[in-house]
Each structure stands twice: as structure tokens, then as C-alpha cells.
Amino acid sequence: MVGAVLTMGSVLGVLAPVAGSTAAWAGGPEHVKFTETGEFTVEAGEFCDFTLNVAGTFSDDAVIFPDRSIHHFTFQFVDTNVDTGFALTERDRVNEFTAADGQIKEVGLHLTFRTPDGKLVVVYAGLTVIDGEGNVLRFTPHLPNPEPGFATALCPALGGSPAS
């Protein structure tokens, strides 16, 4: 999910020309598919109290209307504590509905972490609603609150703590 935050700008950049084109609506909504594979490292103290490596694939299967969009996101990552070598696989599926006023509703499997032998160690499923300015309006109580975020779930699962 860390990668999702970094790649969403890329997704929005790809979709912006479609969303802004009136000619695109002549035949109905646009169906856009997007996949990005990559890897990045976050140094100790920036996200977790250890160096974190994230590698994997993010995909979006979107239907874009003039006044709203529907995205089906899939995240498949390997999250690694570089200091210890301990890794977890992550496979998340989230559906996101964006209204004309910018309000976003996300629902799905937000986080699923498994050990290399397949044991499920973290799972968060539910709903998050964010207004057009980025304020969290509501979220499923057991989900890690988007403020302070994903580090509160990932860093402990990998044997550390969120950066302070």
C-alpha cells in the first residue's frame, strides 16, 4: 500500500486526459486499465524505524464517467525489513468510488499480510470515506486510521515500529 500512495499520482496523470475530454463521452464511459510494477526503498526513520523495501505490482481497472469514477485496485507487494531480511507478502483489493464533488469511498481488503509460508498475520477490511479536501469523514473502526496511517500496521508486522 505504500506504493499505492506513490503511484496514485501516476494513475491520475494517465487518467486526467480521459476525464477532461468531452469527446471521450460520445460513446459512453471510458474503461481504462493500468498496471505498474516497481520497487522502492524507504530509509530507516522516514516511515519505519528500519529500512523498508517494497516491490511489486499495482493495477487499476477503472470506469470513468463525466461526473464520477469507479476504480478496482489490486496491490501485490513484498514488504521487506531490510535490516532483518524478514518479508511479508501483501495482496490487497480495494474498490474506490469518486463522486463529482471529489468525495472518495474506498471499500475492500485494505491490507493483507502473509508470512512466506502463507500464514495470515494482518488483515484489515472495511470502508473509508474521504471528502474532496482529503479529510477523513469516516472509516471502519478496526482499520488503521489514514491519519497517522499505514505505518501503524506494516512496521509492527515486520518487527519494528513506525518512525517517530
Q: What is the pLDDT of residues 84-106, one digit of tens each?
A: 999 999 999 999 999 999 999 99
User: Would residue 164 count as lying in a domain?
Assistant: no
Query: pLDDT tens digits for 6-16?
Result: 333 334 444 44
At 72, which amino acid appears?
H
User: Would residue 36 count as lying in a domain?
Assistant: yes
User: Would residue 105 count as lying in a domain?
Assistant: yes
For the chain, what is the domain count? 1
pLDDT band at 152 (very low <50, low <70, confident <90, very high): confident
| Domain hosting residue 117, numbered range | 2-157
Give me the chain's average pLDDT, please: 84
How distant, in Å, are the alpha carbons of 3, 71, 77, 114 from that of 22? 31, 20, 36, 44
Question: Which residues sit opposite 30 in a β-bridge?
Answer: 64
pTM of the shown model: 0.73
User: Would residue 135 count as lying in a domain?
Assistant: yes
User: Would residue 114 count as lying in a domain?
Assistant: yes
Place of cell 468510488: 97
Q: Give the pLDDT of residue 26.
A: 59
User: Would residue 162 count as lying in a domain?
Assistant: no
Please report which helix (H) or strand (E) contains residue 62, including its range.
Answer: strand 52-64
Residue 15: CA atoms inside 13 Å, Cβ hemisphere, count? 25
